[in-house]
Amino acid sequence: MRVAALYDIHGNLPALEAVLEELAREKADRIVVGGDVLPGPMVHECLERLAKFGDQAQYLYGNCEADALEMLSGKRPARIPEQVLASIRWSAEQLDDATQAAVRSWPATLRLPIPGLGEMLFCHATPRDDNEIFTRLTPEEQLLPVFKDVTADIVVCGHTHMKFDRRVGNTRVVNGGSLGMPFGEAGADWLLLGPDGIQFRHTNYNLEKAAKRIRCSGYPDVEGFVEQYVLHPPTEQKMLDLLTKAELKAAG
């Protein structure tokens, strides 16, 4: 069995289309969507595209889905900085009733055995929290309490938008990076898991054409999204410096 892990899509439909085109050639048996499909400029379109896979696709909620659903219930998520509230609200409002119900049904974690790799535990940030930050540089001794109850062979996560492959105690922990808002090289990052092991994949797509499509979405601060997350993503080192200050704390 071959499984594609697609994390942190953030409404970037051109990136998702490019990955799904590549994935069709790989003949994956299953797709795990690891949370934070939103916020982003083309959230509804991304979910429509993924829905075509039916039961072949399985979903987890991320911190942003949790915040969007809270906003739809009339509350203001306490952990969300003021500057991103408009993006969360706009993205949530793009979801029709059926899609909202589907998102509410997404679980926090998913266990899946993959021949050749063992028992996999998929989560958004950490197994215990959808909004907790750690990176490839976080000291292992700080992470041991986070993963102490994990019985899976491998944990697959996202949230920080940067790829890594490391160990925490006896557990291998893998982050596939972000499909829609990568930190580092522009393009789309994702994972392919199967008998051949764990493959870190990077899919290039036409960034200028993608930017043109995204600019027509009506998304708040769409130019900022295009410039910062499509055309000129921040470097990994810049984000490591920033996120190290927030290790094992909830991030907005």
Check the CA dihedral 155-159-160-162 and report its sign. positive
Q: 145-196 pLDDT, tens per residue?
A: 999 999 999 999 999 999 999 999 999 999 999 999 999 999 999 999 999 9
Quick check: is 116 in a domain? no
Quick check: is 25 in a domain? yes
Quick check: is 213 in a domain? yes
Average pLDDT of the segment spanning 25-30: 92
Q: Is the pTM of this model over 0.85?
A: yes
Quick check: is 161 in a domain? no
Asked whether the predicted pLDDT for residue 251 surpasses 50, the reply is no
Quick check: is 143 in a domain? no
**CATH code assigned at 228:** 3.60.21.10
**32-67 in b/e burial notation, b at 16+ Cβ within 10 A?**
bbbbbbbbbbbbbbbbeebeeeeeeebbbbbbbbbb
Average pLDDT of the segment spanning 112-132: 96
- Count of structural domains, the chain: 1
Quick check: is 170 in a domain? no
What is the structure's pLDDT at 80? 76
Asked whether the predicted pLDDT for residue 11 surpasses 90, the reply is yes
What is the structure's pLDDT at 252? 37
What is the structure's pLDDT at 79? 77
- Most confident range, picked from 69-73, 120-124, 244-248: 120-124
Residue 249 binned pLDDT confidence (cut-offs 50, 70, 90): low
Quick check: is 72 in a domain? yes
- Counting residues of the chain whose pLDDT is more than 90, the rounded percentage is 89
Contacts 24+ apart (CB under 8 A), 143-149: 143/168, 143/173, 143/248, 144/168, 144/169, 146/248, 147/171, 147/173
Quick check: is 122 in a domain? no
40: containing domain: 3-110+177-244
What is the structure's pLDDT at 27? 87
Of 6, 5, 1, 16, which is closest to residue 214 (Cα–Cα)?
16
